[in-house]
Structure formats: structure tokens, C-alpha cells
Structure 1
């Protein structure tokens, strides 16, 4: 398989459930880099909790963050591209504020959230930047929203469908996310491919979530993790192992490395 670039999701793909990159995954990525393949991270995370892993691997490529709403420069961390989403805020908060679930609003200037949780504590620890606001979001003064995340604790397609005229909707098992119309990891990948003058046919993308489906369908080779849902697996050309069992490395070793024995641990 002749590949010039690979775009890798983070949670459920690159990382274990404990938020670590396994040695085998790291070695496989190093193998690709040694063979001249450009390696990119494409994640739903914001920049501050993406950059430490980008640095750990030693990448020098732009980072796709917040499901494609932001692309950050590898060296400076500055946003090369930002796509803001505009909702009817009064209507959004009417539908979400009185319910017992968390709301997180990622803006160009930081995170605003209804309440804190383990995830936000982890983000603060890794990114070294706490939320700018925690509390009733109707009272928060924020602007330039890149992504809304509504954590209902269960699939909520009826609620998320109410926003489809205003935003791109990503449904999860525990809620949904909203980004600007026509924004996705794939839209950001297209921008990067134009910059690097790569054809989609020469690209691999690998992921496990509903926010990965479009990129898996659109690149030359789409790979779903073993822990992905059937919907994600159906969108892919290949299905690899579980993220807890180094499924990322398994695919790279088997199909991408030209001389795997050189990198075997």
C-alpha cells in the first residue's frame, strides 16, 4: 500500500482508555515517519489537550482539533484555521439549561462549561489551562464558539435533530456535539491535503467514532478500530484490532510498513 499521509484519531484509536500511547503504537508511528509518511492527529479534542501528545510523538505536522473546527500550527500552536458555529443561544440554553446534563462550549479563547467532571479535570491537568467559566452558561460572556458538547448521558437524536438547520450534528451514545455547517475532520483534512499537495487516494485515516465516518469514507483507505460501532466499521475499508490491544499498530505493521521487521520490538 503506497501511502503518503495518515490521519489518526486520538481517543479510542491512538490512546488507551488511560490516555496513554502504547509503546507498540509509538514504534509503529516512528516506523511510518522513518519511511517518509506524514503523520497527522485528527481529534475532537481542543488544542491544549492534543499538543502534549503531538509533542510526545515528535510530530511536525498541523493538528486537526475540535472535529475539524480548528487547525493548529505544529510549531507555534497558533490557529491556522478556525470555523465558528452560530446558534440561537436563547433557544439552545432553553433546551439544555434546565436539564440535568452537562454542556461544554469550546471557544477560540477557552472552555466554558455548566459543571466540571472527570473529563474536564483531566483536560485541565494535561492542558494546564482550567475552564474560563463553570456555572450557568446563560450568565457566561463567551463568543467565537468552535464546538458545543451536550452530555445527556444517553443517545439523544430527537434533541440533537433540533439543531440540524443551524449546525453539523454529531450524535454520540452519551449526547451530541455541534460544529459549524459543513465542518468535519474531513473538511479540515481536505484543507491540509491542498496545502501539502496530496491526493486523497494516497491517504489513510483511522478512527472509531461517529465523527470519523466522513473521513473514513473519503480518503483512499479508511480504517475502523475494533472498538468502533457497526456504523463506523461499515464506513471503513478495513477493521483492525481494539484500541486497548494496539489496533492502530496492528494495521500499520500489517499494511503500511515496508520493512516491519526493522521496527519490531
Structure 2
């Protein structure tokens, strides 16, 4: 058990294994933490509709942080309680910069994913909950995040063109773009304030670029064994991988087993 009041969990590569499942020991460890009063908070790059099942599976009542912090959703009341949308001129600017070279461009609202361009040799709808190509968001649907899938050199060029005006999370095959300063950490501060919990009383687990600010700023930031090097550089501890139930291993060993955990350099 921990002495912390909140545990924040990224989903893909952290809470979920490669098959998109919460493994049994991890689920049990989190349930024990909740029984002892610890608040469990999900913080993910996914939209709301792709996060709900895991929030329900764990029986959580806390707000969900989705789309890299661009939206906070209260599942129990079915309401968005905080969001930061891209303006129309920002959307047009981003799309103009990425659309020529990107093979796939997605616009994300709180509850849906829209294919604005798709030149991939596969049907994305078979792998990803997504609206059919040609569907567009309605006038009252806010665009909160844009994803662009492109090759290395063009991805680097897009980052250079966008990073002064927008928040960028980079992955091996794509970039995710939100309004400047919008991160999981930004929205986590809002959620913690609602719960009357300080960041120093919080543990966060993550593995990717969109977890860096959160891991760096909480009381205890834990990188998964499969985390990117940039995250490992700023974390406090490294646990085992998501396939090895790294969250369970960390919580079960109570931060002291040097065979499983090591202080990040």
C-alpha cells in the first residue's frame, strides 16, 4: 500500500498490456488502494469514448483526463467539466502544415475520431473506433486534438513548424497536437484541486511523451520499464514493463525492492 492520496495512470503502454487489457494483479492492487481511500485517476491520449470501459472496469468515480489533457470528463454525470478546444484558424493552420505529407490525419472531439485524410493501405475503422472517411464534426463539436501520421523527416519538419504555437507530443509514427500548454499535467492540477489533493500526495505512472510533464511534477513519478528514454530521464523511479504488471510490482513492493525498482539516473 502507498501513503499517497492519488494514483494517476496512463492507459496504453502503462495500465494496459499489448492486447489492451488490464492484467489481473494490477487490477487487484488498484482495488486494494481504492479500498484504503486512494483516488485512482486515468490520464490518457484517448478520447472519452475509448476510455470509458476501463473507468467502468475499475469502478472509478474520479474525473477522466482525456486527449492529453484537452478534456476532463465526469462519467458519473455524463458531462465534460473542462476542455480546451483549438480555434478554427488554428485547425486550418495545422491542417495546412501537415496534410500534404501525412498519410493519415485525425481530428478528435471529446467523444469521436474523424478521418480528415487517409492514404493508408488499410481500413482504419477495423482497428480504431473512428468515423467513416468523409464524415466531419458538426458545427457544435469542438476539435480538441489533431493527430498526423507521417515519416521521420516530415514529422520533424512539422514539429519545427508547429512547436512554437502548439503543444506537441511525438510518437514513432505520428504527432499529436493540442493548444499550447495543454498537457495531462495541466488538467491533472485541475482534477487534484477538485479532489482537495496536492501534487506532492500523488503518484503517476506513464510511458510516453505525453506523460513527461505529469511524471516530472507529481510527488512521485514512475516510468514503466517500456518507457521512452526522455521519460526515464525525468522520472523518480522505473518499474517493470506493462507486460510484467509494472504498476502491481511497484505498489506491491512498496517502493523498496531494488531487484524490481531503481532510482532513475
TM-score, length of structure 1 as denominator length: 0.86
Query: Cα RMSD over matched residues?
Result: 2.3
Distance 1:140 1:68 in 2: 20
Distance 1:12 1:64 in 2: 16
* 1:1-265 mapped onto 2 (5 Å cutoff): 1-86=2-87, 87-108=89-110, 110-113=112-115, 114-115=117-118, 120-124=125-129, 130-131=130-131, 133-135=132-134, 144-154=142-152, 156-255=155-254
Aligned-pair CA distance for 1:141: 6.2
Aligned-pair CA distance for 1:85: 1.8
Higher helix share: 1
Are 2:40 and 2:62, in contact at CA under 8 Å, matched by a contact in 1?
yes
Which residue in the other structure is 1:259 paired with?
A: none
SS in 1 for 2:144: strand
SS in 1 for 2:227: coil
Aligned-pair CA distance for 1:122: 3.9
Aligned-pair CA distance for 1:146: 0.4
Aligned-pair CA distance for 1:150: 0.7
Cα distance change, pair 33–167 in 1 and its aligned pair in 2 (3 A)? same
Distance 2:49 2:95 in 1: 26
SS in 1 for 2:95: helix
- The runs of 4+ residues in structure 1 deviating greater than 6 Å are none
The alignment covers a number of residue pairs equal to 249
Are 1:8 and 1:42, in contact at CA under 8 Å, matched by a contact in 2?
yes
TM-score, length of structure 2 as denominator length: 0.86
Aligned-pair CA distance for 1:157: 2.5
Please say which of residues 146-155 and 35-44 is displaced more in the overlay: 146-155
Please say which of residues 195-204 and 142-151 is displaced more in the overlay: 142-151
Distance 1:3 1:109 in 2: 31
Please say which of residues 43-52 and 67-76 is displaced more in the overlay: 67-76
Are 1:44 and 1:67, in contact at CA under 8 Å, matched by a contact in 2?
yes
Distance 2:57 2:253 in 1: 24
Distance 1:47 1:140 in 2: 16
Cα distance change, pair 88–73 in 1 and its aligned pair in 2 (3 A)? closer
Aligned-pair CA distance for 1:119: 6.0
Are 1:157 and 1:171, in contact at CA under 8 Å, matched by a contact in 2?
no
Cα distance change, pair 17–154 in 1 and its aligned pair in 2 (3 A)? farther
Q: Structure 1 regions of 5+ residues with no counterpart?
A: 125-129, 257-265
